[in-house]
Structure 1
Amino acid sequence: MASTVSSRPIPALYTVYILRSTMRHASLYIGSTPDPPRRLKQHNGAIKGGAARTARASLRPWEMVGLVSGFPGPVAALKFEWALTNPHLSLHIPTESRLSVARQTKKNGHPRRPPVSMQSILANLHLLLRVPSFARWPLRLHVFMPDVHAAWTKWVAQVQTTPEAPLEPVEVLTDFQPSESGVMGADEIELGPPWGIHALPLDYGPMRDYVDKAQDIFTFEREGDCAVCNMALPAGQGLYAVCPNKSCEAVGHLRCWSDHLLAGEVSTHGHTHGHVLSGDTPLVPKNGHCPDCGGPVIWGDMMKELTLRMRAPKEAEKLVKAKRRQEKAADKAAALADKAASKAAAAAAVEDLPSSFEVEPSVVKTIKTATKKMRKPNEAEKPTAAKATKITKSTRVTKAASTLTKAAKTAKPTKTKAARAVTAAVGEASAALLDRSESPEVIVV
């Protein structure tokens, strides 16, 4: 019998979205996708794909007014999509809690879907995010339109006033259209900073630091003892989860982490949120705190890193290499910035020289030649087969400084103070160049 266990990691992003026609707001559509921007282009006919229900030219362009993210895979997202599309039939909703009820039947005798509105979708969405089937997943609601967010807030306030058990608040993220941006869903290029679905991370980029830390721990076998039970963690002999907090390297057994987080939820709330409607005891934790550093821990993030490390090591290695490239680019940019600042400081120092100080053109040429000698060895300093001599950057700077001093003596300053200023500048330039880390030692043969 073939195994039904997935061999793929938890995806970086998988969403269930709500689509609304910009031409007719009563026309709505629910779908699922791992790439909302690409899927929106399909619905609007910019690229091939989409759905027959969104292909009518009179309803285009469509806009994504909101979506739910955090699904552990496409199957989970499809289950949620079907339940949200058919709330009158879904078995994920208890009968006593059902909000949408079929009043009519089709010709084949099946219940007819009740009329759909934005209010009904949001009401059923609020319900599905709290039923036991989905409440333990790290789901988050993203809203991109102010009127939709206002409708959601109004419904939540209405539900919270009912005499029921306390409800766990649903995490809601808003990202409304800036005034300088283009129209979402249009085929033209967006103006201004990305927003809405265009600002969502479609890859594992936000997890680079987390993945890099875990890779380093397990590559050099620094698992240590379990952060929960304090037992040894033999390298490569079990499924170990890592604390997601940046400065913490706590590692533990998967079961130990689960028991610790579940116990924390019970002690904090007196019950485990998400099972208020049924009263069942959950098997999967949702969030909590690390027993080592005390920082916040989200179970879904830990499982995403674990599945990425165990099921897609090549993808994890790409993330680590990408982080290395970013760090290298940042260091290079910082070095260029320091170099530019040094040049600006040198230019300001030259501007501060007395205006009465005059330097002949030949002296200027001599100074430029000496400066080049400070930066790199000349042809005479290149290795030869005769004799090996170690010439350091201090040797080159000493010779160049001597040349600069001679050049300064040949100048004709009109004031003794100017001559002293030049001599001091030569000394400071020599010291600065001597401290530069870019001038390596050179072996001359």
Structure 2
Amino acid sequence: MASTVSSRPIPALYTVYILRSTMRHASLYIGSTPDPPRRLKQHNGVVKGGAARTARASLRPWEMVGLVSGFPGPVAALKFEWALTNPHLSLHIPAESRLSVARQTKKNGHPRRPPASMHSILANLHLLLRVPSFARWPLRLHVFVPEVHAAWNKWTSEAAAAAAAAVDAPEALLAEPVEVLTDFKPSVPDMYGADEAELGPAWGIHALPLDYGPMRDYVDKANDIFTFEREGDCAVCNTPLPAGQGLYAVCPNAGCEAVGHLRCWSGHLLESETHNHDNGHEHDHEHEHEHEHSHDLGDGPLVPKRGHCPDCGGPVIWGDMMKELTLRMRAPKEVEKIVKAKRRQEKAADKAAADADKAASKAAAAVAAEELPSSIEIVPSAAAKTTKTTKTTKTARATKPATTKTKAKAKEPEKATKITKTTRVTKAASATLSQTAKTAKTTTTAAVGDASAVLLDRAKSPEVIVL
């Protein structure tokens, strides 16, 4: 007989959404999807897919005004979707709590679905999120339109007032409040006339995490614990945890490596919920340890929702722990991808930090260079002068014979006349050259004397002299 247990991990995101036509607000649609942005494009005809009921051009474009997230898989989301679409038939709603009742029948004798409005959908949604079938799941309500959020708050207030006034109010109305998250449309014109994902910061369905990115640090920490066999002792019962011999859950809080048996974690969280609900305060550690394993499978809920870690005291959500556990046990390749992505992210962050430090150092050096005194004198050294003079002399010596030889070959017939003229020019310029050399020598001697005087005079000066 084939097993009915799913071999896939809990998905990163699976939702049941409420769709409303922007052309006619009375037209509503309920569906489920793991990818709300892609599904909205299908309903609007941008990509293939969608539903026949949303294919009418007169009703497009559609908008997602709200959705419920946190389903452990597609089957769970489909059950919730059907119950919300057919509240007059769903067995998840007790008869005494049913809000939608069929007034007509079809030709086949089945009850006809009553007309849906935003008010009726929100009322049934408020009820379904509190019935025992779905109350223990980590479900969250996301609202993206202000008037829908106002309608939700109005109905919630009316339901709370009715439950407080009633003597035997339904248990669903007395349950704890549902977590509601809002992310409204920014003030951008023609938001639905273009691709919403490309207009400014992501908001609404485009800001929802479609992958396991938010759990990257948690998954990496758990992977390190079990890869290097650092399970240690159970954080609840304090017994050793043999490596690879059981289902162990890990605390999701950063910096805490508390590991425990799955049953121990469940009992601890359920016991904490019971104590907080009955007494409104925490019991001491001895009393809690006494009732640690006294939870009977027959009384009370079987699946915990949230609590606190016995080691670090931080908040713990059971759904997040189960998502990491199923990911580790059923999708090791996905865990490897997540860990590699985290390593790449860390390397990119380190490189960005190193580049920032290098840029800061260059900026500081530039500022320091601008603040140096402007009256800095650069006096070339004698060795530099000698080297330069030597190079010039060698170049002149190498060039002069070749030039003279070329001229002699080119104009050989007038050799005697040119020699005489050259001799006369040489004799005539000899005196001038001697006088120029004497003047240059005198000037150089004076300049050297002045430079020495400058060096001597500025020896006590704070100015910098580069030799």
Scaled by the length of structure 2, the TM-score of the pair is: 0.76
Which residue pairs with 2:390 in the alignment?
none
AA paired with 1:90? S
CA distance in 1, matches of 2:219, 2:380: 60
Which residue pairs with 2:416 in the alignment?
none
8 Å contact from structure 1 (residues 62, 185) kept in 2? no
Which residue pairs with 2:342 in the alignment?
323
Per-residue CA deviation, residues 328-372 of structure 1 (Å, 9 max, x unaligned), is 10010011001001101111111111111244899xxxxxxxxxx
Which residue pairs with 1:65 in the alignment?
65
Equivalenced residue count is: 370
AA paired with 2:89? L
Per-residue CA deviation, residues 223-258 of structure 1 (Å, 9 max, x unaligned), is 011111111110000000000011111100001111
Instruction: Indicate the SS of the match to 2:198.
Output: coil
Instruction: Indicate the SS of the match to 1:114.
Output: coil
Which residue pairs with 2:241 in the alignment?
233
CA distance in 1, matches of 2:193, 2:95: 38
CA distance in 2, matches of 1:270, 1:63: 43
Per-residue CA deviation, residues 269-311 of structure 1 (Å, 9 max, x unaligned), is 1299xxxxxx972111111111111111000000000000000
Instruction: Indicate the SS of the match to 2:464.
Output: helix
**From 171, 188, 198, the counterpart of 2:179:** 171
CA distance in 2, matches of 1:32, 1:269: 33
Q: Tell me how far 1:63 sits from its aligned partner.
A: 0.2
AA paired with 2:98? R
Q: 1:84 to 1:361 in 2, by over 3 A?
A: farther
Instruction: Indicate the SS of the match to 1:161.
Output: helix
Alignment of 1:368-407 (within 5 A): none
CA distance in 1, matches of 2:127, 2:94: 10
Alignment of 1:267-278 (within 5 A): 267-270=275-278
Q: 1:359 to 1:118 in 2, by over 3 A?
A: farther
CA distance in 2, matches of 1:181, 1:345: 44
AA paired with 1:23? M
8 Å contact from structure 1 (residues 40, 185) kept in 2? no
Q: Tell me how far 1:115 sits from its aligned partner.
A: 1.0
**From 237, 250, 256, the counterpart of 2:258:** 250
Alignment of 1:177-192 (within 5 A): 177-180=185-188, 183-184=191-192, 186-187=194-195, 190-192=198-200
Q: Tell me how far 1:184 sits from its aligned partner.
A: 4.4
Which residue pairs with 1:418 in the alignment?
463
**From 215, 218, 223, the counterpart of 2:226:** 218
CA distance in 1, matches of 2:323, 2:209: 15
AA paired with 1:231? T
Per-residue CA deviation, residues 190-235 of structure 1 (Å, 9 max, x unaligned), is 3110000000000000000000110010001010111111111100
CA distance in 2, matches of 1:361, 1:154: 87
CA distance in 1, matches of 2:373, 2:380: 17
Q: Tell me how far 1:167 sits from its aligned partner.
A: 2.8
CA distance in 2, matches of 1:43, 1:271: 49
Which residue pairs with 1:357 in the alignment?
376
Alignment of 1:36-185 (within 5 A): 36-162=36-162, 163=164, 164=169, 166-180=174-188, 183-184=191-192
Which residue pairs with 1:393 in the alignment?
none
Per-residue CA deviation, residues 81-132 of structure 1 (Å, 9 max, x unaligned), is 0000000000000000000000100111000001100000000000000001
8 Å contact from structure 1 (residues 20, 26) kept in 2? yes
CA distance in 2, matches of 1:139, 1:339: 47
Which residue pairs with 2:10 in the alignment?
10
CA distance in 2, matches of 1:50, 1:10: 24
Q: Tell me how far 1:418 sits from its aligned partner.
A: 2.3
8 Å contact from structure 1 (residues 353, 418) kept in 2? no
Which residue pairs with 1:384 in the alignment?
none
Q: 1:296 to 1:182 in 2, by over 3 A?
A: farther
Which residue pairs with 2:424 in the alignment?
none
Per-residue CA deviation, residues 123-163 of structure 1 (Å, 9 max, x unaligned), is 00000000011000000000000000000000000000023
CA distance in 1, matches of 2:50, 2:266: 40
8 Å contact from structure 2 (residues 17, 30) kept in 1? yes
Per-residue CA deviation, residues 18-37 of structure 1 (Å, 9 max, x unaligned), is 00000000000000000000
Which residue pairs with 1:366 in the alignment?
none
Instruction: Indicate the SS of the match to 2:31.
Output: strand
Q: 1:249 to 1:350 in 2, by over 3 A?
A: same
AA paired with 1:301? D
8 Å contact from structure 1 (residues 243, 302) kept in 2? yes
8 Å contact from structure 1 (residues 227, 250) kept in 2? yes
8 Å contact from structure 2 (residues 128, 134) kept in 1? yes
Instruction: Indicate the SS of the match to 2:109.
Output: coil
CA distance in 2, matches of 1:248, 1:182: 47
8 Å contact from structure 2 (residues 61, 192) kept in 1? no
The percent of aligned pairs where both chains have the same amino acid is 82
8 Å contact from structure 1 (residues 13, 70) kept in 2? yes
AA paired with 1:93? I
CA distance in 2, matches of 1:114, 1:17: 19
Q: Does 1:302 align with 2:321?
A: yes
CA distance in 2, matches of 1:84, 1:271: 35
AA paired with 2:340? K
Greater helix fraction, Structure 1 or Structure 2: 2
Scaled by the length of structure 1, the TM-score of the pair is: 0.79
8 Å contact from structure 2 (residues 138, 319) kept in 1? yes
AA paired with 1:211? V
AA paired with 1:417? P
Instruction: Indicate the SS of the match to 2:57.
Output: coil
Task: List alignment gaps of at least 5 residues for structure 1.
Answer: 273-278, 363-408, 424-445
